[in-house]
Chains A and B, each alone.
Chain A
């Protein structure tokens, strides 16, 4: 209906900033490259190195898997809970929504730094609160047993963007449907499962994928500021591992190979999420 020329800037950007770098990364994954001298072809040796020689890569992969499996559902369910609570137009709802959204726009480096302080074992507010209630006060980022939980906690409080997306979905559900269901005698629970959930599926799907990708790939700033992967590699997640391989150890080929594996895993997870939620009207008029 509108001229396709409107897509030119986006198309150029997508090619130059995403597609082209992706191709370069795939090629580099098969080379030995230190960014000083020309890359040397080494076939699939990088991939073998990752699994056989490098002792750290399996740890980073395992941590990322755990983090993704825990943080993704927490963030999606958290955003859904917030959206369900705050989407009805009640007194004060606007104010509550603004308050709930606010943490989403704190610059990530500042947000991560604030969490380092909150999780400080001795002076941090969280342990002071726990202590006041006589609860155990873990060392959080100081101990390999709890450090990853600390990261999950920081991630689980970033719900603003997800909430906004889901409120938009909830508002798109026609009120007539609820009225008709009430007339037919459907209770709250039935209305939620039979009407709300199916009709906000497109938004829920986008949110699930977004949070999945964030947990797998978007944690660089969080780990870099909060833990640097420690203690004892307990919080080393893939983005930080890739960064360190490339920019600290100048093993760009190895970093690229790890990136390729990460993207493939993320793509597989995305496709799985899609299949699992088959029949969702993702492409429908929302």
Chain B
């Protein structure tokens, strides 16, 4: 579909894109703008994107009312373990599935979709019973465990699609050179699915980093809690203290955004999750 030469179309495109994308981003704008108000101040009666006397006092309050720094560190440990493991296990499974014949590929696609059908609420209690049996309660392992299934069957699917686009000849020539499965995975496969890997990394990070159900159910000790629990505690403590609540939300959101910006420079942007590969 080649663009028309009439410049009106170009303007119309930008106008539509800015309106649509901008309205989605407004939620973040409102979050930041509210967090810059002084804690306890009366909300303005009309819409104000930049508050009168903007201050960072709400952020200071967020860190002093709660051991937020400690919680952020705990969250960082969990994603530090879980996200790399997710990438390894998801790409292993995806590679094996992508390499199967037509029948195996088909069966696994249905299996992955079937696994997506079971809701998290089905697991809460049953997983608790299971984790308690093997002494995992109050450790990081229940929080990290979803890495085994690649955080989400959908991410295995995304990677399997990407692997499947690599021409067979590439694998075969590497195999003739004596490469084993692990070398094929790390030297041939992974470099060619970098965009998909980047996408899964960002989405898996967001999932583990934002998880607030698992820590609430499987952790006990206060000093082991994660950052989303801090926000939950603040909400329960005072639902009307909007500057402090939104400041905490901004702090919680920032790492995901930074990771996304970095991945977007190095591996993936939302315009592609695979590259065209020529044999």
- A residues contacting B by CB (< 8 A) are 1-7, 9-10, 12-14, 16-18, 20-22, 24-25, 28, 35, 81-82, 85-90, 92-94, 96-111, 113-115, 117-118, 122-123, 125, 128-129, 132, 157, 159-161, 163-165, 167-168, 171, 178, 188, 191, 206, 209-210, 213, 216-218, 220-221, 225, 238-239, 242-243, 246-247, 252, 255-256, 259, 262-263, 266-267, 270, 282-283, 285-286
- A-contacting residues, B115-155, CB 8 Å: 115-127, 129-130, 145-150, 154
Q: Which 5 pairs between the two chains have the least Cβ-Cβ distance?
A: A13-B148, A107-B210, A217-B119, A21-B126, A1-B99
Task: Contact check, B203 vs A210: say whether CB atoms are below 8 A apart.
Answer: no
Task: Contact check, A6 vs B93: say whether CB atoms are below 8 A apart.
Answer: yes
- Please name all residues of chain B whose beta carbon is closer than 8 Å to the beta carbon of A252 when the two chains form the complex: 125
The distance in angstroms between the C-alpha atoms of A74 and B89, with both chains bound, is 33
Instruction: Report the minimum CB–CB distance from A156 to chain B (whole Å).
Output: 10
Some 16 contacts from A to B, beta carbons below 8 A apart, are A9-B93, A10-B149, A18-B118, A28-B126, A88-B1, A97-B269, A98-B269, A102-B28, A107-B212, A110-B248, A114-B246, A157-B23, A165-B158, A239-B121, A266-B117, A286-B161
Which residue from chain A places its CB closest to the CB of B229 in the assembled complex?
A: A109
Whether a CB of chain A sits under 8 angstroms from the CB of B181 is yes
- B residues contacting A by CB (< 8 A) are 1, 3, 10, 13-14, 16-18, 20-28, 30-31, 34, 43-47, 88-90, 92-93, 95-97, 99-100, 102, 105-106, 109-110, 113, 115-127, 129-130, 145-150, 154, 156-158, 161, 164, 168, 171, 181, 184-185, 199, 202-203, 205-206, 209-210, 212-213, 228, 231-232, 235, 242, 245-246, 248-250, 252-253, 256-257, 260, 264, 269-274
Which residue from chain B places its CB closest to the CB of A92 in the assembled complex?
A: B14
Task: Contact check, B181 vs A218: say whether CB atoms are below 8 A apart.
Answer: no
Task: Contact check, A178 vs B1: say whether CB atoms are below 8 A apart.
Answer: yes
Instruction: Report the minimum CB–CB distance from B269 to chain A (whole Å).
Output: 6
Task: Contact check, A35 vs B125: say whether CB atoms are below 8 A apart.
Answer: yes
Known: A85-B13, A167-B270, A220-B213. 5 other contacts (CB 8 A): A7-B96, A110-B253, A123-B44, A217-B121, A286-B164
Instruction: Report the minimum CB–CB distance from B255 to chain A (whole Å).
Output: 9
The distance in angstroms between the C-alpha atoms of A164 and B47, with both chains bound, is 32
Task: Contact check, A3 vs B125: say whether CB atoms are below 8 A apart.
Answer: no
The distance in angstroms between the C-alpha atoms of A87 and B30, with both chains bound, is 28
- Please name all residues of chain A whose beta carbon is closer than 8 Å to the beta carbon of B95 when the two chains form the complex: 2, 6
Task: Contact check, A218 vs B96: say whether CB atoms are below 8 A apart.
Answer: no
Task: Contact check, A129 vs B47: say whether CB atoms are below 8 A apart.
Answer: yes
Which residue from chain A places its CB closest to the CB of B105 in the assembled complex?
A: A283
- Please name all residues of chain B whose beta carbon is closer than 8 Å to the beta carbon of A217 when the two chains form the complex: 119-121
**A105 with B256: in contact, given A114-B249, A117-B246, A246-B124 (CB under 8 Å)?**
yes
Task: Contact check, B3 vs A107: say whether CB atoms are below 8 A apart.
Answer: no
Task: Contact check, A28 vs B260: say whether CB atoms are below 8 A apart.
Answer: no
Task: Contact check, A114 vs B31: say whether CB atoms are below 8 A apart.
Answer: yes
- Please name all residues of chain A whose beta carbon is closer than 8 Å to the beta carbon of B181 when the two chains form the complex: 2-3, 5-6
- Please name all residues of chain B whose beta carbon is closer than 8 Å to the beta carbon of A90 when the two chains form the complex: 3, 10, 13
Task: Contact check, B116 vs A283: say whether CB atoms are below 8 A apart.
Answer: no
**A125 with B30: in contact, given A96-B17, A259-B119, A270-B113 (CB under 8 Å)?**
yes
Instruction: Report the minimum CB–CB distance from B229 to chain A (whole Å).
Output: 9
- Please name all residues of chain A whose beta carbon is closer than 8 Å to the beta carbon of B202 when the two chains form the complex: 105
Task: Contact check, A132 vs B47: say whether CB atoms are below 8 A apart.
Answer: yes
The distance in angstroms between the C-alpha atoms of A3 and B185, with both chains bound, is 11
Task: Contact check, B96 vs A2: say whether CB atoms are below 8 A apart.
Answer: yes
- Please name all residues of chain A whose beta carbon is closer than 8 Å to the beta carbon of B109 when the two chains form the complex: 282-283
The distance in angstroms between the C-alpha atoms of A217 and B273, with both chains bound, is 27
